[in-house]
Amino acid sequence: MPYFELKKGEPGFPPAHFADLDGLLAVGGDMTVSQLVRGYESGVFYWHHPMKHVKWWSPDPRLVLETGSFQAPDLQSEPVFTTSVNMRFEELLRLCQRLNNNKEAMGPAWLSERMFRIFMELFERGRVHAQEVVHKGNLVGGFFGVCVGHLCFGEYSAETIPGAAGFAITRAVEALRERGIEWIDMQKETARADTLEYQEISRLSFVDYCRRAGEGDKKISYTSTL
């Protein structure tokens, strides 16, 4: 099935069910904070190689974590980690860049400076949940996602010590559950940890959750975290 080509300045997306068998829905358009949030609300996420047109995806099925039924793994291990929320987000973004920006591979996990600025703007608007993992005062991993209504859209996890990413996601689930977040989208492989199991739901169900999340989002007052 052919994908859609979005023009510059063209807001919004075609219906997610028009995505091809791999989940590719559209290519091109603008990459802005507002367009990214519209993507989340439409059940669509970006994932593309640097220096190429933005690609927008909506695969079927979708990988998620349901916060209410999540079973935390045994976290008793060495080293002992501590965690914080939204205290070292810029440092976490730079860590994600250091771990993912491979100049030889130039893969879709690349975190560009444009996306760095977009995520920082979302953070300043109070939309980001960043779970940072610290060991002996040093940032050794973390997880972050963007919140829209009762959903959180996972973007990146990172670790320089084994186990830090899984620890971050587990603690993020607990913290987001307390905030009323019901689902965490874990479709992007950059957001996941190998130590955790994820659920699959149909694209139809997920898009419906996104639509309702977008409606609920309008009732939430996001404030600056800085």
- Tell me the one-letter amino acid at 167: F
Q: Where are the domains of the chain?
A: 64-200
Residue with tokens 């100049």: 103
Question: Are 213 and 78 within 8 A, CB to CB?
Answer: no
What's the CATH architecture for 64-200?
3-Layer(aba) Sandwich (3.40)
pLDDT (tens digit per residue) in 47-104? 988 878 899 999 999 999 999 999 877 765 667 899 999 999 999 999 999 999 988 8
Q: State pTM to two decimals.
A: 0.92
To the nearest 10 degrees (0 to 180), the angle between helices 89-100 and 113-124 is 160
- State the alpha helices, DSSP H only, in 147-186: 164-178
- Tell me the one-letter amino acid at 101: N
**Predicted local confidence at residue 72, as pLDDT:** 79
- Strands 4-6, 45-46: pairing kind: unpaired
Q: What is the C-alpha to C-alpha distance for residues 127 and 119, in angstroms, rounded to an integer?
A: 9
